[in-house]
Amino acid sequence: MADTPLRQHQIDYPDSAALQDVLAVLKGFPPLVFPGEVDELRTRLVAVSEGRAFILQGGDCVERFSDCTAERITDKIKILLQMSVVLTHAARMPVLRIGRIAGQYFKPRSQEFEQIQGRRVLTYRGDPVHRFDPRGDNRTPDPRRLLEGYFHAAATHNYIRAMIAGGFADLHHPLAWDLTSMEGTPQWQEYRHVVDRILEAISFMESFGGLNQESLGNIDFYTSHEALHLPWEEAMTRRDPATGNLYNLAAHTVWLGARTNGVDEGHVDYLRQIANPLGIKVGPEMTADHLAALLRLLDPQRTPGRITLITRLGADRVHTRLPELLRVTREEGNPVIWSCDPMHGNTVATTGGRKTRTFTAILQELEHTFGVHRVAGSIVNGVHFELTGDEVTECTGGAVPLGEADLDRNYESWCDPRLNYTQSMEMAFLLGKLLRE
Ligand code: PEP
Ligand code: CO
């Protein structure tokens, strides 16, 4: 009998019979997305791999059940839509929006346990595992919470679909662009000018019917999350009777995290078997051989649109690590999409012990990544951010500068720090400049 591959960062459920019961129920629930939608995303990703479209992927580090409200979902879709319009305008090509949303619930953690008020408790792994509040036995994994995870993900998917079908994409309404927080900053005039030109372009196209309400309403939006909690991913994986292929139908695309990428391990073994487009996070420890092995396992047919390599090297390691990764990928011949996650390699702790990221380091990782690609004759096809549509205070810097002292004011994330609305819009303007160059 073949050995079962090692599964890293999984949850040890004390009641395994209860887990099996829950998984049986989950397997009977309808999927959250449809195989045809996954295939449609792959077709769009072919255009991305050929440099004819660009990816904007973003959302929370970890979604909480309490984020499943109309307002929070709206804010997140709105920021992604607005950023995508800025990027489309700058790059003169379609931008594919992929949310870290409607199922981005499970987290790998560097420490399995943490000490809170003198008690040793499991580190928070996500709302479908246990409660964040560490009191009592709240952090004991409870498999019934997976069912709540399903319903929260389903409600989020449903609301996103309803908003889009209902014509939420009302981007030409100037009120929807709330940049007042940037007023008075040195960058303000420049950004205002970009927005005015975009609004002008939209109304010009509308004036001769090139862009009517219908086509504005007809935007596409895809969902994604890290494929981490394998019992969940497997329960949501179904065989498509039409093609015989297996699909993860909890999201359109899922990615392999940087901590679970062992070639002989369970996550790679699972992802190998599904037909969804896959992301692979590529950290500074990834060797050329490791990347080549992953590409052979996960994309043996070298299919355009199958693999998005999401580099997250850290601003100061892009020059030393990226050239070799570009070289080995070219040698392997996989037609990959190159995306850049400028967040996860740039996390630092404040003196007070809060996790944060500086706007400067995030922007620098993007600039260095564009630069190294240019020298190598390659292109950046997308970006991957942790961001939110709310004015949180989690990352420092930006045009309306936040300092470390501001972080306590509205630090909401239960995991990594996100760009807030203003920082995200500014990042889109600056990224737009990089794309134009
Ligand atoms: C994440 O995207 O939230 C994450 C954990 O990233 P990485 O695997 O790249 O560290
Ligand atoms: Co994160």
DSSP sequence for 41-79: HHHHHHHHHTTSSEEEEEE-SS--GGG-SHHHHHHHHHH
How many percent of the chain have pLDDT more than 70? 95
Residue 393 has pLDDT above 50, yes or no: yes
CA-closest residue to ligand 1 atom 4: 257
Please give the number of the atom of ligand 1 that sits closest to the Cα of 108. 5
Give residue 344 CA to ligand 2 midpoint distance, Å: 6
Report whether pLDDT(419) > 90: yes
Enter the tokens of residue 390. 């709310």
258 Cβ inside 6 Å of ligand 1: yes
Among candidates 125, 131, 104, which has minimal Cα distance to 32? Answer: 104
428: amino acid identity, one letter:
A
- Report which DSSP code applies to 142: -
Report d(CA 91, CA 418) in Å as an integer.
24
Spatial separation of the C-alpha atoms in residues 254 and 235, rounded to whole Å: 15
Residue 324 pLDDT > 80: yes
Q: What are phi and psi of 254, to 5 degrees?
A: -130, 160
Calculate mean pLDDT across residues 44-60: 98
Please tell me the predicted confidence (pLDDT) of residue 216.
Answer: 47
- C-alpha 31/C-alpha 236 separation (Å) is 7
For ligand 1, say whether the CB of 257 is within 6 Å of any of its atoms. yes
Return the bridge partners of 311, or none.
282, 340
Following CA atoms 271, 272, 277, 280 in sequence, which dihedral angle do they give, to the nearest 10 degrees?
A: 70
Q: Whose C-alpha lies nearest to ligand 1, atom 10?
A: 258
Q: Tell me the C-alpha distance between 176 and 77, whole Å.
A: 12
pLDDT of residue 118: 93
Lowest-confidence range among 41-45, 361-365, 397-401?
397-401
User: Are residues 286 and 264 in contact, defined by beta-carbon separation less than 8 angstroms?
Assistant: no
As a whole number, mean pLDDT of residues 383-407 equals: 96
Indicate the DSSP class of residue 404: G
> Does 61 contact ligand 1 (Cβ within 6 A)?
yes
Residues 63 and 57: their CA atoms lie apart, in Å, by 15
Query: Could you say which ligand is closest to the alpha carbon of residue 286?
Result: 1
Q: Which residue has the higher pLDDT, 22 or 219?
A: 22
For the segment 58-85, the average pLDDT, to the nearest whole number, is: 95
Closest Cα to residue 100, out of 295, 351, 389?
389
For the entire predicted model, the pTM comes to 0.96
Query: Which pLDDT score is estimated for 217?
Result: 45
Instruction: Evaluate if residue 230 carries a pLDDT over 90.
Output: yes
Residue 78 structure tokens: 């709105």
Instruction: Kindly indicate the confidence band of residue 388, based on its pLDDT and cuts at 50, 70 and 90.
Output: very high
Residue 175: the pLDDT is: 52
Looking at residue 1, its pLDDT comes to 46
Distance between CA 376 and CA 374 in Å, rounded?
5
Cβ-Cβ contacts under 8 Å for 20 (sequence gap 6 or more): none
Q: Please state whether beta strands 355-356 and 348-349 pair in parallel, antiparallel, or not at all (unpaired).
A: antiparallel
Q: How is domain 16-169+219-436 classified at the CATH fold level?
A: TIM Barrel (3.20.20)
Q: How far is the CA of 258 from the centre of ligand 1 (A)?
A: 6
pLDDT interval class at 335 (50, 70, 90): very high
Report the chain's mean pLDDT, rounded to a whole number: 93
Q: Is the pLDDT of residue 169 over 90?
A: no
DSSP string, 155-188: HHHHHHHHHHHTT---TT-GGG---GGGTTSTTH
- Assess whether the C-beta atom of 361 lies below 6 angstroms from ligand 1: no
pLDDT of residue 218: 54
Residue with CA at minimum distance from ligand 1 atom 1? 61
Q: Which ligand is nearest to the CA of 104?
A: 1
For the four alpha carbons of 27, 30, 35 and 41, in that order, the dihedral sign comes to negative
Regarding the beta carbon of 384 and ligand 1, being less than 6 Å apart is answered: no
pLDDT at 183: 85
Nearest ligand for residue 341 CA: 1
Structure tokens at 227: 């494929």
Cross-strand pairs, 56:
97, 383
